[in-house]
Structure 1
Amino acid sequence: MKHTWRWFGPVDKVTVRDAAQAGAEGIVSALHHVPTGVAWTIDGIRQRQDEIKAGGLYWDVVESVPVSEDIKTQTGEWRTHLAKWQETLRRLSACGIRTVCYNFMPVLDWTRTDLRWETRHGARAMRFDLTDFAAFDIHILKRPDAAGDYPDWLVEDAARRFSEMADGKIAALGRNICAGLPGSADGYTLDQLLEKLRSYQGIDRARLQQNLVDFLSEVTPVAEQVGINICAHGDDPPWPLLGLPRILSTEADYAHMLSQIDSRANGVTLCTGSLGARSDNDLPFFASRFADRIHFVHLRNVTRDTDTVPCSFFEDEHLEGGTDMVAVLAALLTEEKRRRDEGREDHRIAMRPDHGQEILDDLTRSAQPGYPAIGRLKGLAELRGIERTLLHSRYGLA
């Protein structure tokens, strides 16, 4: 597999050279400073490529080209934004980039209630606490009728939790949930978040699914023409939030998307952490079923407090948690071998050690939450060890 590393650009406190020393061979990045709905320029793309090359690596995967809320709701400037998205694909291809990750989560992208939760051995990890989230929704955001989306016991627990929160905790919870995509300047105030939620009135799960299919019907032909694989990242966490539908949370969701636009260029970003927050997602089976359409992989693990949906969870070490990482890697390596035998140019699947716990010197570096240097190095080393073992001639995956 291609061992890659996410880098947020020159502002990132973990450098490209750090990534190279950790064992990465490629970089996953984006032009985070470009506003959503604006086409990336050739000069901007090449500048980022030069910055990465100066650190000794290359830019292999874009994560991500954001999809605007106008596109998701098919309102406002959505057709203009769609044309800009298509043009960005053309320009990325002209610069030699062949894989583009995106997501279709409404309003909120990945969502955590605590960005530096302390684990049993003193490491720091990201956590989604269901009670804290309900307290935010009902008592801080004060979304109309929010309590009706939760069972009575959780409404009571959330009220109790909120009554015990200090002002600093309330402010931090709001900041954590209202943040935008990692590395981006986007984010919301509470009033802005409520306004964004109102823009989804009348858009149910079926409508949002159709809007995704409409988006893909427009961008996939462009991707095919310019030789780019686009790949959808799953919902994180994989269940409805704030009364909004989510449409890439399960195996059935992905099967629907892939069948509606049946092109190899329309593919999957397999994130074992996002999908792994649901106990009913079988990640090794998922990797095998959609193997031919998996273009990019995030390998991480979460430990759930319960097996209910939804639930609380935290980002565990890469080989711990609820996902059998050995089985997932075996499925992916089997697919790589099949692609090699077919003579496919894209036989190597890009993967990165997603997220990671802050350990050792990470605890004082204050890097982007979830993206420490040493925690990801540890995860990449463990994952590479599994891969090397599975590729040993004795096991037949080479």
Structure 2
Amino acid sequence: MKLIKSWRWFGEKDSVSLEWLKQNGIEEVVTALHHIPNGEVWPEEEILKVKSKLEAAGLGWSVVESLPVTEAIKTASGLRDQHIHNYKISLRNLAACGIKTVVYNFMPVLDWARTDLHYQIPGLGESMLFDYPTFAAFDVFILKRPGAEKDYSPELLKAAKAVFEKMTPEEAEKLAHNIIVVTQGFIDGVIDPSIEDYKKEFLNHLQRYQNIDDQKLREHLAYFLNEVIPAAEEVGINLAIHPDDPPFSVLGLPRIFGTESDMKWLANTNPSLNNGMAFCAGSFSARADNNLVEMAKKYADRIHFAHLRNTRLLPDGSFYESGHINGSVDMKALVNVFLQEMKLRSSRIPMRPDHGIKGPDDEGLNANPGYPKFGRLKGLKEIESLENELLNKNAR
């Protein structure tokens, strides 16, 4: 039994055609209704429009990534209860259309962060980098978040200042725009890209978390889960929280799902197996103290979806995306955990090749940051090769 080969598709504007996906062995598409504003109900007729298009191309759709959790829910403010009510209606509508798994995240303001969207790995191609000194330079000297310098060691502040002093004003502006706008724009980000003073608006969003620490944010997540999990159980949908990316605090924001202890908290807070996770190897692997194989083994029954990619950690806490097989994660051992879990379930787990290295064949193709067409296909084939090797070995 093999993992379900899936592919993240961003809708009609995606440069990858459904026909190409089918021709290259993709079984299911992972997508969302990106045109519906966060917090509003996903109507059944809109869900069916997408599903019908996918099925006409011979592709399935069982995983939604993502049904966004609004900032009102994360901060327990304003329209929180209305948004949760709408969320439950959307879950029922998705279930009525055959959706089995819904991914979400509980990351405040910023879904993911990288400092270089065009990082060159010698001899391999273009990837993405989170460089700690550069991110600190953005935070302290470009964004000028009040009190930001308190979140960094003297050594890191010194390195950040050196990075900033080498930047031109244009380079500093590009860095800020990439972090705040470019990396968030295609995944329902909180900042309207048309806003002229986007840095000021971003600071306003950060300010809303001034009195929300990890414990308070966990209380908000617990409230959300205890409201929506009964609805998910009723209609047979698995909720899957995506780990924080990176899995540690940035910009002074609380981060509550990036370690094994966070997994334990999630399971204890609501023991229903419908309360699960999207196991993103790339996100979890950006912490040196995370043992991904052991984490996956311990909470395998809650893994409803797998994102498989690798990272290479650097001594100062920086990291870059190193493809799918090579890096800090023992990908073969991790894939084997999923294969063993599928035996126990007698059902398959959907997997998608997450991100990828951009090579020569991807030059000139329009793609969102981290989502090269051929770079992801290469990763998918590498993972499938690992699967075949493990299945052959286990069959002996």
Q: Same fold (TM over 0.5)?
A: yes
CA distance in 1, matches of 2:275, 2:232: 8
CA distance in 1, matches of 2:170, 2:326: 32
Counterpart of 1:41? 43
1:80-91 mapped onto 2 (5 Å cutoff): 80-91=82-93
Amino acid at match of 2:155: W
| TM-superposition CA deviations, 1:86-136 (whole Å, max 9, x none) | 111011001110100000001100111111211112511111111111011
Q: 1:172 Cα shift?
A: 1.9
Cα–Cα, structure 1 residues 15 and 183, in superposed 2: closer, same or farther, change >3 Å? farther
CA distance in 2, matches of 1:53, 1:182: 27
Do the aligned partners of 1:71 and 1:78 also contact (CA within 8 Å) in 2? yes
Amino acid at match of 2:283: S
Counterpart of 1:205? 214
| TM-superposition CA deviations, 1:321-359 (whole Å, max 9, x none) | 10000000111100100112xxxxxx2101100000111
CA distance in 2, matches of 1:235, 1:75: 22
Q: 1:17 Cα shift?
A: 2.1
For structure 1, which runs of at least 5 residues remain unmatched after alignment? 341-346
Counterpart of 1:391? 391
1:180-259 mapped onto 2 (5 Å cutoff): 181=184, 183-184=186-187, 186-188=189-191, 189-259=198-268
For structure 2, which runs of at least 5 residues remain unmatched after alignment? 192-197
Q: What is the aligned-residue identity percentage?
A: 44
1:145-164 mapped onto 2 (5 Å cutoff): 145-164=147-166
CA distance in 1, matches of 2:14, 2:363: 15
Cα–Cα, structure 1 residues 213 and 360, in superposed 2: closer, same or farther, change >3 Å? same
CA distance in 2, matches of 1:174, 1:123: 24
Q: 1:238 Cα shift?
A: 0.4
Which 10-residue stretch deviates more, 183-192 or 120-129? Answer: 183-192
CA distance in 2, matches of 1:157, 1:241: 17
| TM-superposition CA deviations, 1:128-180 (whole Å, max 9, x none) | 11111101100111000101100011111111111111233212211221136
Q: 1:366 Cα shift?
A: 2.8
| TM-superposition CA deviations, 1:231-280 (whole Å, max 9, x none) | 11100000001111100010000111111100011001100000000011
CA distance in 2, matches of 1:276, 1:90: 34
User: Do residues 10 (structure 1) and 16 (structure 2) align?
Assistant: no
User: Do residues 329 (structure 1) and 335 (structure 2) align?
Assistant: yes
Cα–Cα, structure 1 residues 301 and 28, in superposed 2: closer, same or farther, change >3 Å? same
SS in 1 for 2:78: coil
Do the aligned partners of 1:70 and 1:77 also contact (CA within 8 Å) in 2? yes
SS in 1 for 2:253: coil
Matched residue count: 387
Counterpart of 2:359? 359
SS in 1 for 2:351: strand
CA distance in 2, matches of 1:185, 1:273: 20
Q: 1:185 Cα shift?
A: 5.1
User: Do residues 320 (structure 1) and 326 (structure 2) align?
Assistant: yes
Counterpart of 1:135? 137
Amino acid at match of 1:389: E
Do the aligned partners of 1:23 and 1:377 also contact (CA within 8 Å) in 2? no
CA distance in 1, matches of 2:87, 2:66: 11
Amino acid at match of 2:300: A
Do the aligned partners of 2:239 and 2:275 also contact (CA within 8 Å) in 1? yes
CA distance in 2, matches of 1:278, 1:22: 33
CA distance in 1, matches of 2:337, 2:141: 44
Q: 1:217 Cα shift?
A: 0.3
Do the aligned partners of 1:6 and 1:28 also contact (CA within 8 Å) in 2? yes
SS in 2 for 1:395: helix
